[in-house]
Amino acid sequence: MWHRTSDRKPGDLPAPLERDNPPPASRPPGGTVAEVLWVFLKLGLTSFGGPVAHLGYFHKELVDKRGWLSDSQFAQLLAICQFLPGPASSQLGFTLGLLRAGWRGAVAAFVAFTLPSALLLIGFAAALPLLAGRGAQAAIHGLKLVACAVVADAVLGMFNKLCPDARRRTLAAAAAVVVLLLGAVWSQVLVVLGGAVAGLIWCREQPGPGSSEVPLPYGRRLGIGLLAVFAGLLVVFSWGPVNGGLGSLAGAFYQAGALVFGGGHVVLPLLEESVVTSGWVTDEQFLAGYGAAQAIPGPMFAFAAYLGALMPAPHGGWPGAIVALGFMFLPGFLLVAAALPLWQNLCRSPRAVQAIAGVNAAVVGLLLAALYDPIFTSGVTSATELAIAIIAFVMLTVWRRSPLWAVLWCVLASMATAYM
């Protein structure tokens, strides 16, 4: 049942599950690309609330309502996506499309789930130059306050779920200190690797994720090939020249997508280092778009389309949006497709479970550092703005309102204070 996984944060591994795959005769037949496209377009238009909520939508629509796979199969696929870097909900959607209608189904699931949010954010990027009035600027600043509340909520939730003991809380605090003191993007990679090592040493009582056979349309050889493609692109983009243009844009977003553990919120510091420090977008544009991403359905990684659209001419607009969006998602999809045939053996190892427990704790520290800088330092400049952000935080954590309510409150309150 869904309650066995819905109370877990992205990054947690589900407890061992009983094998409840239906016999081959009772499994639903393979679907069509059109079917996958329609189902995921519906999800892309209605899935508000972030990655954890997306997993609930997927389970209700595809397991409970349509019977595309069993509960244990869904849990196993979810464990794989949570284990790997990248956007867990989008990786799961890609995988479900793959299993339902092959590789074309995987692409259809990605496009349909991502397109609505990407188009909305590209439209927001196009409208930014028109938002020059006093009220418009106040509204944009209100979106920065939304980012403060949403990321604070994410930090609290991840801390409670992923740092249940003193050792992992200490690890999270140490990770935040390292990132704040060193500042460079490589410090975030150092924190993730250090978290894995610490997990192997400290997190020795983690439950294994269990296993459940998942039928695949390909084998281990192709999985190894996809892993080689992922690693090769990462090496090329890591050592290639950064001299502007779409190639540099592709490299920046590919590296961010390849190194992000913990979901959409954690991509914030990696992208900020790539696109703000380089001068591609301003800090105000970056945080305004991040705030706008909270108000729309679909994956938060669609934020990449907004940033690509803001690239300086002649590489901005639609070309920049398409390149940024594609290369943001590509590493996560390559990894999950490579891992599917290889996961059965890996998930039986308790050492892998220990390492990911440490990585999860380090991710909490990474997000805590991002909450302070750049989100809080750029968004909150007065006591009034702090009060607005706190009320939005209470809406999310105490009243359990949709992020849309927080967006509405922060924008209206920011506009009201601008005319006081």
Look at residue 399 and tell me if it is in a domain: yes
Query: Do residues 13 and 80 make contact, with C-beta atoms less than 8 angstroms apart?
Result: no
Same domain, 246 and 348: yes
User: What tens digit of pLDDT does each residue of 223-276 get?
Assistant: 999 999 999 999 988 775 545 578 888 988 998 888 776 555 666 777 777 788
User: 294 and 373 share a domain?
Assistant: yes
Query: Which residue would you say has higher pLDDT here, 6 or 257?
Result: 257
Query: Has residue 116 been placed in a domain?
Result: no
350 vs 405: CA distance, rounded Å: 42
**What sign has the CA pseudo-torsion 283, 286, 288, 294?**
negative
Range among 101-115, 350-364, 396-410 with highest mean pLDDT value:
101-115
In this model, does residue 7 exceed pLDDT 70? Answer: no
* Residue-range definition of the domain harbouring residue 100: 2-110
Residue type, 3: H
For residues 183 and 283, state if they share a domain.
Answer: yes
Determine the pLDDT at residue 34. Answer: 95
Looking at the fold, whether 102 and 219 belong to one and the same domain comes out as no
Q: CA 151 to CA 157: how far, in whole Å?
A: 10
Mean pLDDT of the chain: 80
Spatial distance between the Cα atoms of 420 and 410, rounded to a whole number of angstroms:
15
- Give 12's strand partners: 10
Q: Is residue 126 part of a domain?
A: no
Contact 328, 308 (CB under 8 A): no
How far is Cα 17 from Cα 26, in angstroms, rounded to an integer? 20
Pick from 12, 4, 356, 369: nearest CA to 158: 12
Q: How far apart are CA 84 and CA 80, in angstroms?
A: 7
User: What is residue 132's predicted lDDT score, i.e. its pLDDT?
Assistant: 57
What one-character-per-residue DSSP string does 175-214 give?
HHHHHHHH-SHHHHHHHHHHHHHHHHHH---PPP------
Does one domain contain both 72 and 104?
yes
Q: Is 109 helix (H, G, I), strand (E, B) or coil?
A: helix
Evaluate whether residue 143 is within a structural domain.
Answer: yes
Query: Do you know the residue count of the chain?
Result: 420
pLDDT of residue 23: 38
94 & 152 share domain: no
Higher pLDDT, 22 or 174: 174
Chain CA centroid to CA 269, Å? 13
In a domain, 258, yes or no: yes
Do 149 and 278 sit in the same domain of this protein? Answer: yes
Asked if residue 305 and residue 212 are part of one domain, the reply reads: yes
Q: Answer yes or no: are the C-beta atoms of 262 and 366 closer than 8 Å.
A: yes
Give the other-Cβ count within 10 Å of 420's Cβ.
5
Report the distance separating Cα 298 and Cα 18, nearest Å.
31
Domain end call among 110, 125, 155: 110
- Cα–Cα nearest to 142, from 384, 396, 400, 401: 384
The answer to the question of residue 122 being in a domain is no
Residues 83 and 147 in one domain: no
Beta bridge partners of 10: 12
317/270 same-domain check: yes
The dihedral through the CA atoms of 27, 32, 33, 36 has a sign that is negative
H-helix or E-strand containing 332?
Answer: helix 317-339
**Domain tally, the chain:** 2
Condensed to tens digits (0 to 9), the pLDDT of residues 172-183 reads 999 999 989 987
Question: Residue 94's closest CA among 108, 80, 74, 75?
Answer: 108
Close Cβ partners of 348 (under 8 Å, ≥ 6 residues apart): 208, 211
Q: Please give the helix or strand (H or E) that residue 36 lies within, else none.
A: helix 33-46
pTM: 0.68
Spell out the residues 6+ positions from residue 60 whose beta carbon is closer than 8 angstroms to its own.
2
CA–CA dist 394, 149 (Å, integer): 8
Helix axes 185-202, 166-182, angle to 10 degrees: 160
Of 48, 77, 110, the residue that ends a domain is 110
Q: Does residue 240 sit in the same domain as residue 341?
A: yes
Phi, psi dihedrals of residue 12, rounded to the nearest 5°: -75, 150
Worst-scoring range by mean pLDDT, 8-12, 83-87, 345-349? 8-12
Q: What is the pLDDT of residues 348-398, one digit of tens each?
A: 677 877 887 888 788 788 878 878 887 788 788 899 999 999 999 999 889
Closest alpha carbon to 310 in 300, 321, 299: 321
Q: Is residue 192 part of a domain?
A: yes
Indicate whether 239 and 99 sit together in one domain. Answer: no
Q: Which of 385, 361, 383, 417 is nearest to 199 (CA)?
A: 361
Domain assignment of residue 90, yes or no: yes
Of 110, 145, 173, the position where a domain reaches its end is 110
Residue 108 CA to residue 110 CA, distance in Å, equals 5
Q: What is the pLDDT of residues 124-183, one digit of tens each?
A: 888 776 665 677 678 778 877 887 887 788 788 778 877 888 999 999 999 999 989 987
